[in-house]
């Protein structure tokens, strides 16, 4: 009985196949009761029987777990008798008494537990073919996990490559996105309306003055910058610029640093001055002089 | 909260022995003290232009105003030795003056929230001044330097300069001349920029810009430095990358080096004008900057730069002698600018530009010239409003005289450079001033040619020539009988006598003929070279030597004439209306290689709506070798022809198949290709065609459905992802196309427009516009072009009755804080709304904005748009026209605009448009008889103003007076607010002949202007103290003939503040303030004129600028203390300079 039990099965009580486990439990209770009878008890409180059942179950479970562990420790997958023996020894059980105990006279024979089908682990996702081990992996190694955990699931159809349709799609897609976006903005913010009777008909996002209007009006938007990067844009002007004018690099940094709303006060200027003196003689790049110590009074 | 303070030190060399009074120009500066050679000097401050017409009279006519204004202006005219600030030289120095020793005049002043002259831009965001991008710059219309420091504010007074600016350490001060050094102040929190300008320069050419600028040294020319506001550096780099080419071009063409040792370009926000040039620096609007993705702005920006640079040579370096010589400088700089255009943008572009300018002038003169009593003349100074036109005109004269002038320029420049290098001899300085007569002399010296007649015709006379030409071919004699008539009786025209070139294209070639236009000869016989029989095999030679095959089947079998052109080189300011058969125009369009001829042919073909014209235009459209602007024009012409041919038109709507072929996909012709603007010609064509197509109309006068859907598809399939360039202008034009397609809604008894009643087509349009406008909020386009187009479209929808007419949307876009282009578009819609709906509220709202808006440009635009699209005119009755409005406008031009001359001109202009020259009809009649009289004879000068005009002068018949003024206005644009020339003439006549000729006023000025900008101050001082003043007196020729100041005082009461030398300054100002406030101490200051002569006789000497600096440095620190001391001591001291009249 002990060895027949798969410890793993008992352990997980949360299985949906309640019946299966209840049946086992019931068998255990019968065992406990018969042992009690053997020992001479005539009756027992239910709670006591339950407690003993619980203890018995724990014990068996622990034996199973330890046996499994010791078998895996020796790189095997199935526990053998010696594993169990070692386990029992470990748990302080005198194995030598076991044969005698099993042959005791007043031993009661109980019926085997009703045969119930071991619960089938429901296949939640059946996708693809379950892979078998390649030749170089010994069969005792664990199996591959369920295919759904690693296979690709193609969900798209062949792209349409017809020019007209593509353009059509691109256009309407963009329009839809734009419309949705602007509607959203209009819904969530202040709006102006062209009609007095229906304020929601053609909602316009309200005009909001900005304190530095020229920045947004002159600087290319990020989107445009992206486009520019994608398209080939190695302009000669830029190159000559950087070659001839080393101080550009400093400004480039400043310029590239668009996230800062404004440059640090005067930050750009003094740095340039200190750096560029030797390269280009421009009065605006010269360092600022310290005041004279003594001024004419 | 914006203020600056500083001091000016002038070194004056008296040229007369008894110099005891010095007059300077100064406006809106609060002057604390004046010292002459370290002695306190009493001074008087009076600005008559602050309020033009005093003592709230009932006079409300422009004639009265203009005479009062010209009087006020000449009372402070520096060229006449006048000024707002009159300083009495302490008597201790009189003796020294006798020995003609140097006088040093030292003036301390401050500026508090200046309304003109300096503009502070302080964005309302968090952070320090530098982080906010706060900056300040000087601006003004013509000579407006007096607005920000006391000086002799005349283009003809040259001196060398040393300038010092103390600014916050995070700021950069850019000014004229070389930056000598930059020094921290003792507390290290500020920096002082020391500039030295050794080339003699007139005060109006001095400028200043301070801000947290990013600095870019030009990679090609290290002497050139560019400045822009934070974050714009990448744009600056791109926009400036070709500046060196302009430099090279000018230097080469003038064979003369750039006169200054350095050049600075500063790009600032809220600019007054797009471009303004000052000695060795130019100030530009920041909106000229663009990135490499922008196509349309690029040529515009380059043009602005080229213009600014041309003005560096002529205008800044070489200055003018008097107002009437302005045209020479404008002309020369315009001319070399034109040469640059020709070189950079090509001959086609150049000739197109010349034609455009010519047309502009002709239109302007024909329109306004006729109404001689136009505000232009009334206001006297109003001229500037049309400055565009005269510029062009003058420029054009230069083109004509280009061969001649060319060498002259060289000479002038070399003379000038010589002069400046020998700056220690002041008499040579006069070489740097250019006058009309000097210019003519140089021309004849250099070229040996006499251009006198030319000048006489175009410079001394106003008007354009209007030719009507027609011809007949005399087969027998094989002669072309050409008839050229002139219209010289209608307004704005003049009679032309002289040579004229006629080009005749015959079968055998092109021939030039020069005809002499004389008094009575109308007909000219021109012999033909070709036989009329056609030689079909032969190619036909064109003017440029090219030989082409032509299909000659269209032409008249008897005549060898293909086409005829009158004055093909545009060497006369003329409008030609020439009659020739339609097939001749078509030949001209197809085969003449001159873009001007092609454009003329296109506009002529509008009248011939035939299939042949259609074909010719379509051919041109397809011809990709043809100049793109011609093709663009052909689009619009084709649309017109198509509309005229509506019933007989066959095939798809005009241009549709063409557009499809050029820009749509081969496989699916209804879808436009993804954008690729690499070819600019086709880009412009692609932009223009839909706009022109939208003008097509079907028999119901609606835009054909097919066209509308086509445009909607263009918008739908527009795809810019693969494009290197931005498509914002293209999309904006597509919206314009939608706008063009709109036609008036069918309205059933004026019901209110609702969403439900919306026409389905219009609904589609409106959806696009809504989407575009909303997207623009999320992804703004360059210069917000799309918003601008959307606003126009919405206004058009309102106007056509598709959606309810409502100004509130535009009002919100017109608010300060939007990009200026957007504001202007919104304001334009509002102006239109005001007119259409006659809304007094909106009109009032606009006028309030004129008074309060922080942007000078916007104020100016509102007024000029109102004048262009007036809510009512003097001819029509309107409920808007009432007494309160008259008073409001009157007040605006009388005193409300004293800080900005351009604005004052705009106000006068609007007043004229609304009410005319005479008393507005809605006012009650004060002096019945008189006014009635006036109303009947509008063309007559208002008799009521005679007394003001001075009694001495000969009374010219009004017509004559105005004619002459018109001439100056147009031909010699005396821009910055001139006085009525007639006034000037009269003054001359009144001038005592006894006054000795004046050798040229002199002074070497070394103003040390120091400023602390920007400073925050809480003080709230009404800056109406600032007076507007216009320095000008009309002088026909050069200074040598200039009479001394007339002894006439303006008819206004002048109040004088005299200080007593002994009184300590702060105390004094307090006292005088008090007395002023109580209206006491009003002196009629009649002894002014005694001193005028003295002042003018100050002698010129030259002299090196040395000294000065001792004082400066020493006084500098003290100065601040003193200032603050003054402030705290006498809270009212700010008013000490205010003209008492203001408090009335």
pLDDT over threshold 50, residue B1127: no
How confident is the model at residue B422, as a pLDDT? 31
How confident is the model at residue B462, as a pLDDT? 65
Q: Measured between alpha carbons, how far apart are the two ends of chain A, in Å?
A: 114
Q: What tens digit of pLDDT does each residue of B1032-1080 get? A: 222 222 222 333 333 333 332 233 223 333 323 232 222 222 222 333 3
Q: Tell me the pLDDT of chain B averaged across its residues.
A: 73
How confident is the model at residue B430, as a pLDDT? 45
Candidates B754, B774, B807, partner chain A, best to mutate (most A CBs within 10 A): B774
Least confident of B291-300, B456-465, B939-948, B966-975: B966-975
Task: Decide: residue B389, CB within 10 A, 0-12 exposed, 13-18 middle, 19+ buried.
Answer: buried
Count interface pairs A-B at CB distance under 8 A.
Answer: 265
Q: What's the whole-number mean pLDDT along residues B544-560?
A: 81
Is the ipTM reported for this complex over the cut 0.95?
no
Q: What's the whole-number mean pLDDT along residues A209-235?
A: 74
In chain B, residues with a C-beta closer than 8 Å to the C-beta of A177 are none
Place B763 in a pLDDT band, splitting at 50, 70 and 90.
very high
Estimate the share of chain B in helix, then strand, then coil, as percent rounded to the nearest 5.
Answer: 45, 15, 40
How confident is the model at residue B370, as a pLDDT? 35
In chain A, residues with a C-beta closer than 8 Å to the C-beta of B780 are 216-217, 221
In chain A, which residue's Cα lies nearest the Cα of B797?
A: A194
In chain A, which residue's Cα lies nearest the Cα of B290?
A: A218
In chain B, residues with a C-beta closer than 8 Å to the C-beta of A217 are 287, 780, 782-784, 819, 821
Place B238 in a pLDDT band, splitting at 50, 70 and 90.
very high
pLDDT over threshold 70, residue A237: no
Concatenated DSSP letters of B561-589 = EEEEEESTT--S-EEEEE---HHHHHHHH
Q: Tell me if A209 and B817 make a contact (CB, 8 A cut-off).
A: yes
Place A227 in a pLDDT band, splitting at 50, 70 and 90.
low
How confident is the model at residue B368, as a pLDDT? 63
In chain A, which residue's Cα lies nearest the Cα of B788?
A: A217
CA distance A181 to chain B (A): 9
pLDDT over threshold 70, residue B135: yes
> 3-class DSSP state for residue B166?
strand
How confident is the model at residue B969, as a pLDDT? 28
Q: What tens digit of pLDDT does each residue of B898-908 get? A: 888 888 888 88
Q: How far apart are CA B745 and CA B798, in angstroms?
A: 10
Q: How far apart are CA B1033 and CA B1055, in angstroms?
A: 23
Nearest to B716 among A175, A211, A289 (CB): A175
CA distance B143 to chain A (A): 28
Q: Tell me if A289 and B181 make a contact (CB, 8 A cut-off).
A: yes
How confident is the model at residue B236, as a pLDDT? 94
Q: Tell me if A192 and B809 make a contact (CB, 8 A cut-off).
A: yes
Nearest to A241 among B241, B797, B809 (CB): B241
How confident is the model at residue A125, as a pLDDT? 62
pLDDT over threshold 90, residue A250: no
Q: What tens digit of pLDDT does each residue of A23-69 get? A: 888 888 888 998 898 888 888 899 999 999 999 999 999 999 999 99
pLDDT over threshold 70, residue B413: no
Displacement of CA B82 from its chain's centroid (Å): 26
Q: Tell me if A265 and B131 make a contact (CB, 8 A cut-off).
A: yes
pLDDT over threshold 70, residue A235: no
Q: What tens digit of pLDDT does each residue of B850-900 get? A: 999 999 999 999 999 998 899 888 777 778 888 888 888 888 888 888 888
On whether the CB atoms of residues B10 and B162 are closer than 8 A, the answer is no
pLDDT over threshold 60, residue B473: yes
Top pLDDT among B1075 and B557 is at B557
Q: How far apart are CA B193 and CA B165, in angstroms?
A: 5
Q: Please name the residue that has the structure tokens 């309160």.
A: B884
In chain A, residues with a C-beta closer than 8 Å to the C-beta of B292 are 228, 233, 235, 237
On whether the CB atoms of residues B660 and B672 are closer than 8 A, the answer is no
Least confident of A84-93, A136-145, B18-27, B1107-1116: B1107-1116
SS (H, E, C) B867-907: HHCCCCCCCCCCCCCCHHHHHHHHHHHHHHCCCCHHHHHHH
In chain A, residues with a C-beta closer than 8 Å to the C-beta of B266 are none
Top pLDDT among B171 and B941 is at B171
Q: How far apart are CA B789 and CA A192, in angstroms?
A: 18
The candidate with the shortest Cα–Cα distance to B1004, out of B400, B197, B59, B97, is: B197
Nearest to B819 among A205, A217, A285 (CB): A217
pLDDT over threshold 80, residue B955: no
Q: How far apart are CA B162 and CA B418, in angstroms?
A: 21
How confident is the model at residue B530, as a pLDDT? 72
Place B97 in a pLDDT band, splitting at 50, 70 and 90.
low
Say what percent of chain B tops pLDDT 90.
31
In chain B, residues with a C-beta closer than 8 Å to the C-beta of A255 are 214, 231, 233-234
On whether the CB atoms of residues B434 and B321 are closer than 8 A, the answer is yes
Say what percent of chain B tops pLDDT 70.
69
Give the strand order in the sheet containing B214-217. B214-217, B224-228, B263-268, B281-285, B275-278
How confident is the model at residue B382, as a pLDDT? 31
pLDDT over threshold 90, residue A127: no
Q: Measured between alpha carbons, how far apart are the two ends of chain B, in Å?
A: 27
Task: Decide: residue B660, CB within 10 A, 0-12 exposed, 13-18 middle, 19+ buried.
Answer: middle
Q: Tell me if B752 and A285 make a contact (CB, 8 A cut-off).
A: no
Cα–Cα distance list, B908 to B282, B293, B899 (Å):
29, 42, 15
Q: What tens digit of pLDDT does each residue of B689-728 get? A: 999 999 999 988 899 999 999 999 999 999 988 888 999 9
In chain B, residues with a C-beta closer than 8 Å to the C-beta of A167 are 665, 668, 671, 717, 719
How confident is the model at residue B614, as a pLDDT? 92
How confident is the model at residue B96, as a pLDDT? 62
Displacement of CA A252 from its chain's centroid (Å): 40
Q: What tens digit of pLDDT does each residue of B625-682 get? A: 899 999 999 999 999 999 999 888 888 888 999 999 999 988 888 899 999 999 999 9
- Non-local (6+) Cβ contacts of A227 within 8 A are B720, B721, B723
In chain A, residues with a C-beta closer than 8 Å to the C-beta of B820 are 213
pLDDT over threshold 60, residue B278: yes
How confident is the model at residue B584, as a pLDDT? 92
CA distance B271 to chain A (A): 12
The candidate with the shortest Cα–Cα distance to B50, out of B1057, B859, B973, B1022, is: B1022
On whether the CB atoms of residues B491 and B441 are closer than 8 A, the answer is no
pLDDT over threshold 50, residue A19: yes
How confident is the model at residue B299, as a pLDDT? 93
Q: What tens digit of pLDDT does each residue of A133-176 get? A: 888 988 888 888 877 777 776 777 777 778 888 889 889 999 99
Q: What's the whole-number mean pLDDT along residues B292-318?
A: 90
């Amino acid at each position: 009985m002990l060895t027949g039990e798969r410890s793993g099965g008992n352990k997980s009580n949360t299985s949906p196949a309640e019946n299966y486990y209840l049946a086992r439990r019931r068998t255990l209770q019968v065992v406990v009761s018969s042992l009690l009878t053997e020992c001479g008890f005539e009756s027992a409180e239910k709670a006591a029987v339950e407690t003993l059942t619980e203890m018995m179950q724990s014990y068996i479970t622990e034996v199973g777990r330890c046996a499994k562990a010791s078998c895996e420790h020796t790189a095997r997958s199935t526990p053998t008798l010696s594993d169990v023996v070692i386990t029992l020894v470990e748990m302080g059980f005198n194995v030598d008494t076991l044969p005698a105990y099993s042959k005791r006279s007043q031993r009661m024979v109980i019926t085997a537990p009703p045969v119930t089908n071991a619960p089938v682990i429901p296949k939640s996702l059946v996708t693809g073919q379950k892979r078998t081990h390649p030749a170089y992996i010994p069969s005792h190694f664990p199996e591959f996990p369920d295919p759904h955990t690693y296979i690709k699931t193609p969900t798209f159809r062949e792209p349409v490559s017809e020019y007209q349709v593509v353009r059509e799609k691109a256009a309407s897609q963009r329009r839809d996105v734009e419309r949705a976006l602007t509607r959203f903005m209009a819904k969530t913010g202040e709006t102006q309306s062209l009609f007095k009777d229906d304020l929601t008909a053609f909602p316009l996002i309200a005009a909001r003055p900005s304190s530095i209007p020229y920045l947004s009006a002159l600087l290319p938007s990020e989107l445009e910058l992206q486009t520019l990067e994608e398209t080939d844009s190695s302009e000669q002007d830029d190159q000559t610029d950087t070659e001839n004018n080393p101080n550009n690099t400093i400004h480039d940094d400043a310029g590239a640093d668009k996230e800062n709303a404004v440059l640090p006060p005067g930050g750009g200027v003094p740095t340039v001055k200190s750096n560029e003196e030797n390269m280009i003689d421009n009065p605006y790049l010269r360092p600022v002089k310290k005041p004279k110590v003594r001024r004419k009074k | 909260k914006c203020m600056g303070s500083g001091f000016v030190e002038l070194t004056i060399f008296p040229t007369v022995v008894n110099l005891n009074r010095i007059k300077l120009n100064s406006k809106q500066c609060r002057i604390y003290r004046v010292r002459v050679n370290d002695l306190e000097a009493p001074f008087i401050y009076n600005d008559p232009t602050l309020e033009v017409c005093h003592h709230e009279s009932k006079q409300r006519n422009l004639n009265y105003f203009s005479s009062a204004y010209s009087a006020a202006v000449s009372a402070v005219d520096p060229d006449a030795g006048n000024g707002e600030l009159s300083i009495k030289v302490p008597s201790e120095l009189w003796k020294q003056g006798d020995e003609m020793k140097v006088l040093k005049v030292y003036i301390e002043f401050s500026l508090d929230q200046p309304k003109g002259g300096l503009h502070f831009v302080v964005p309302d965001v968090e952070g320090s001044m530098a982080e906010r991008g706060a900056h300040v710059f000087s601006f003004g219309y013509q000579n407006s330097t007096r607005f920000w420091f006391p000086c002799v504010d005349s283009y003809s007074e040259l001196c060398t300069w040393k300038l010092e600016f103390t600014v916050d350490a995070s700021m950069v001060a850019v000014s004229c001349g070389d930056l000598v050094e930059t020094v921290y102040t003792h507390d290290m929190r500020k920096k002082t920029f020391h500039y030295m300008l050794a080339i003699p320069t007139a005060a109006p050419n001095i400028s200043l810009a301070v801000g947290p600028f990013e600095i870019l040294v030009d990679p090609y020319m290290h002497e050139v430095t560019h400045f822009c506001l934070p974050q714009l550096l990448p744009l600056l780099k791109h926009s400036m990358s070709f500046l060196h080419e302009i430099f090279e071009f000018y230097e080469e063409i003038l064979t003369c080096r750039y006169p200054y040792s350095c050049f600075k370009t500063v790009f600032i926000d809220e600019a007054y004008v797009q471009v303004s040039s000052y000695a060795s620096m130019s100030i530009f609007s920041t909106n000229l900057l663009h990135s490499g993705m922008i196509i349309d702005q690029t040529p515009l920006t380059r043009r602005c730069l080229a213009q600014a640079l041309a003005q560096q040579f002529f205008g800044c370096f070489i200055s003018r002698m008097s107002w009437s010589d302005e045209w020479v400088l404008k002309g020369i700089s315009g001319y070399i600018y034109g040469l640059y255009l020709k070189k950079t943008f090509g001959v086609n572009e150049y000739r197109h530009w010349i034609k455009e300018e010519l047309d502009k002038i002709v239109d302007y003169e024909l329109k306004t010239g006729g109404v001689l009593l136009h505000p232009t003349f009334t206001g006297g100074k109003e001229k500037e409003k049309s400055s565009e036109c005269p510029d062009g005109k003058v420029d054009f004269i230069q083109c004509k005289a280009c061969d001649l002038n060319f060498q002259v320029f060289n000479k002038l420049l070399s003379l000038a450079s010589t002069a400046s290098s020998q700056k220690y001899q002041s008499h040579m300085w006069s070489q740097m001033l250019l006058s009309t007569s000097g210019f003519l002399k140089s021309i004849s010296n250099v070229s040996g040619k006499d251009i006198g007649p030319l000048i006489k015709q175009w410079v001394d006379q106003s008007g354009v020539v209007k030719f009507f030409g027609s011809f007949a071919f005399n087969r027998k004699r094989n002669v072309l009988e050409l008839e050229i008539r002139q219209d010289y009786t209608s307004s704005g025209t003049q009679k032309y006598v002289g040579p004229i070139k006629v080009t005749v294209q015959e079968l055998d070639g092109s021939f030039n003929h020069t005809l002499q236009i004389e008094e009575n000869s109308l007909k000219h016989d021109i012999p033909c070279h070709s036989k009329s029989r056609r030689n079909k095999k032969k190619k036909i030679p064109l003017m440029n030597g090219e030989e082409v095959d032509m299909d000659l089947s269209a032409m008249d079998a008897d005549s060898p004439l293909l086409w005829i052109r009158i004055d093909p080189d545009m060497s006369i300011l003329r409008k030609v209306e020439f009659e020739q058969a339609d097939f001749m125009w078509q030949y001209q369009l197809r085969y003449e290689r001159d873009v001007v001829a092609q454009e003329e042919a296109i506009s002529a073909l509008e009248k011939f709506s035939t299939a042949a014209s259609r074909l010719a235009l379509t051919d041109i459209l397809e011809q990709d070798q043809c100049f793109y602007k011609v093709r663009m024009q052909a689009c619009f012409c084709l649309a017109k022809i198509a509309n005229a041919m509506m019933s007989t038109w066959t095939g798809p709507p005009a241009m549709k198949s063409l557009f499809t072929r050029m820009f749509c996909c081969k496989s699916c012709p209804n879808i436009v290709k993804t954008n690729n603007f690499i070819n600019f010609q086709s880009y412009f064509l692609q932009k223009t065609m839909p706009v022109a197509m939208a003008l097509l109309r079907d028999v119901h006068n609606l835009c054909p459905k097919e066209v509308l859907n086509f445009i909607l598809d263009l918008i739908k399939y527009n795809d810019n992802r693969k494009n290197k360039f931005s498509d914002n202008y293209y999309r904006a034009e597509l919206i314009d196309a939608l706008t063009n397609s709109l036609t008036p809604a069918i309205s059933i008894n004026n019901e209110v427009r609702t969403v439900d009643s919306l026409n389905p087509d219009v609904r589609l349009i409106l959806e696009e516009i809504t989407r575009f406008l909303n997207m623009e909020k999320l992804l703004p386009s360059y210069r917000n072009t799309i918003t601008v187009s959307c606003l126009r479209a919405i206004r058009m929808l309102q106007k056509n009755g598709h959606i309810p007419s409502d100004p509130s949307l535009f009002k919100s876009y017109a608010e300060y804080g939007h990009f200026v282009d957007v504001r202007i578009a919104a304001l334009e819609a509002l102006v239109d709304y005001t007119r259409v709906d006659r809304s007094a509220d909106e009109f009032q709202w606009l006028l309030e904005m004129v008074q309060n808006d922080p942007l000078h440009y916007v104020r100016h635009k509102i007024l000029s748009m109102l004048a262009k699209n007036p809510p009512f005119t003097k001819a029509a009755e309107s409920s808007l026209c009432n007494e309160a409005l008259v008073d409001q406008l009157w007040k605006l031009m009388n005193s409300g605009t004293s800080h900005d001359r351009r604005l004052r001109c705009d106000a006068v202009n609007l007043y004229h448009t609304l009410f005319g020259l005479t008393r507005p009809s809605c006012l009650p009649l004060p002096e019945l008889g008189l006014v009635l009289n006036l109303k009947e004879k509008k063309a007559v000068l208002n008799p009521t103003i005679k007394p003001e005009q001075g009694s001495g002068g000969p009374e010219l018949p009004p017509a004559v007076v105005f004619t002459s003024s018109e001439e100056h206005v147009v031909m010699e644009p005396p821009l910055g607010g001139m006085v009525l020339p007639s006034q000037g003439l009269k003054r001359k006549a009144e001038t005592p002949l006894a006054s000795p000729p004046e050798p040229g006023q002199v002074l070497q000025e070394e103003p040390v202007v120091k400023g602390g900008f920007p400073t925050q101050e809480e003080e709230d001082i009404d800056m109406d103290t600032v007076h507007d003043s216009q320095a000008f007196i009309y002088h026909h020729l050069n200074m040598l003939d200039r009479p001394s100041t007339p002894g006439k005082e303006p008819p206004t009461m002048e109040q004088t503040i005299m200080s007593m030398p002994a009184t300590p300054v702060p105390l004094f100002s307090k006292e005088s303030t008090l007395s002023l406030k109580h209206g006491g101490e009003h002196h009629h200051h009649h002894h002014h004129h005694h001193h005028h002569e003295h002042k003018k006789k100050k002698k010129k000497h030259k002299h090196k600028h040395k000294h000065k600096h001792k004082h400066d440095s020493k006084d500098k620190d003290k100065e601040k203390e003193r200032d603050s001391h003054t402030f705290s001591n006498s809270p009212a001291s700010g008013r000490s300079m205010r003209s008492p009249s203001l408090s009335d």
